[in-house]
Amino acid sequence: FFQKTLTAVKNWFTLFGWSNGQNPISIPHSLRRDICKAQMTSSHEKDFKQNLGKDTKTLYDMLFHLSGQLLPGITLSQSLPLDPVERMLQLHRQHSTLLAFLKSQGAYLPHILPEFLLEPDDYKRWIKVQTVLKVDVKNSDIFSNKHLFILEDSTFEKMSKRAWTDLLLQIYKVFVLPRVSSHSVTDLSNLEGVQNMPRIKSEPLSSNIYSPYERTILTWLNEHYEKNRKTVWKDCQKGEVPPMRWIVNFDRDLLDGLVLAAQLAAYCPYLIATHFVRMYTNPRTPEQFLHNCLILVNAMHAVSLAIDIKV
């Protein structure tokens, strides 16, 4: 499940996370590597700059594209010291600023520490520096890191991959999902036959799982499924019209492909006769679920949806 989530996140941010088109990313490698566009020595030494390329895009370019905001004290052409320890300390400060900024926007990231976003070698330098500080100033207020996690190489890589994936998911939540508007969503109580269906509440505190924007999407899914299920599958070849259902999550309720097919049919009704009539309306076996999903993917390809969806 986690690997599928990581793949979906990587595909979305590759396609839509950047200005001026696609920018392939890998999680966490390219995000850690391309955090800054240049490196330079300290001010005492002769200036030295190693450009990663004017077209190199960093995490800060992504954030600026999605939010229109720059992190406090950080520019799009941020540079780093050449000294490895100084570079690591600056990156740690930048990651701390990034996490604080996202939390101020509503992101939920209590499990991610700035050091989890570092490169493996920088993480080792961080542990070494913090261990020395802890020994030298054991009883001093200077050392404020009460929880120092010393991870093996393989464990750190897993933690880093998870941290960067969760970071991108929260960036999507706070900067992309709020664009969803509820103005065009029909009140379900106005649809014939669903007056007794429980409504999905939009109040911010009505769910500790989904945000108001996610619940708006659930309402939209319910609306189109109920409006279209009798139209889409009135002439279905593999069963009767699917029954009414209450869609309350984004995993189990979408597994059989019927709900997503109803959404697509609402905007591309010509796909009904060529694709959707061949779907199982009451699938029970893995093969029938796969059959439906293959038809749905083929329908998306038929209308050239710019999403890299594979089964």
pLDDT digits (tens, 9 = 90+) for 201-210: 655 555 667 7
Question: What mean pLDDT do residues 91-105 have?
Answer: 93
Instruction: Characterise 199 by phi-psi region: left (phi > 0), alpha (psi -120 to 50), beta (else).
Output: beta
Query: CA–CA separation, 187 vs 196, rounded Å?
Result: 13
Q: Please give the pLDDT value at position 299.
A: 92
Q: Please give the pLDDT value at position 49.
A: 40
pLDDT in tens, 232-257: 999 888 878 898 888 888 888 999 99
Residue 175 has pLDDT above 80, yes or no: yes
Q: Are residues 154 and 201 in the same domain?
A: no
Residue 19 has pLDDT above 80, yes or no: yes
Q: Are residues 169 and 252 in the same domain?
A: no
Residue 44 lies in a domain: no
The percentage of residues in the chain with a pLDDT greater than 70, rounded to a whole number, is: 78
The two structure tokens encoding residue 219: 């309402």
Q: Are residues 101 and 192 in the same domain?
A: no
Q: Are residues 75 and 169 in the same domain?
A: yes
**Which of the given ranges, 33-42, 137-146, 178-187, has the highest pLDDT on average?**
178-187
Q: Which H or E run contains 79?
A: strand 79-81
Phi (first) and psi of residue 225, to 5 degrees: -65, -45
Q: Please give the pLDDT value at position 46.
A: 39
Around Cβ 174, how many Cβ atoms within 10 Å? 21
DSSP tag of 37: S
pLDDT in tens, 149-168: 888 999 999 999 999 999 99
Give pTM, 2 decimals: 0.66
Query: CA–CA separation, 212 vs 192, rounded Å?
Result: 25
Residue 237 lies in a domain: yes
Q: Are residues 250 and 281 in the same domain?
A: yes
Q: Are residues 123 and 221 in the same domain?
A: no
Q: Which of the two residues, 198 and 120, has the higher pLDDT score? A: 120
Residue 260 lies in a domain: yes
Beta strands 49-51; 38-40: pairing state: antiparallel
Q: Are residues 213 and 281 in the same domain?
A: yes
Residue 47 lies in a domain: no
Q: Which domain holds residue 219?
A: 182-303
Q: Which H or E run contains 89?
A: helix 84-104
Structural domain tally of the chain? 2
Q: Are residues 165 and 21 in the same domain?
A: yes
Q: Are residues 166 and 93 in the same domain?
A: yes
For residue 136, name the pLDDT band (cuts at 50, 70, 90).
low
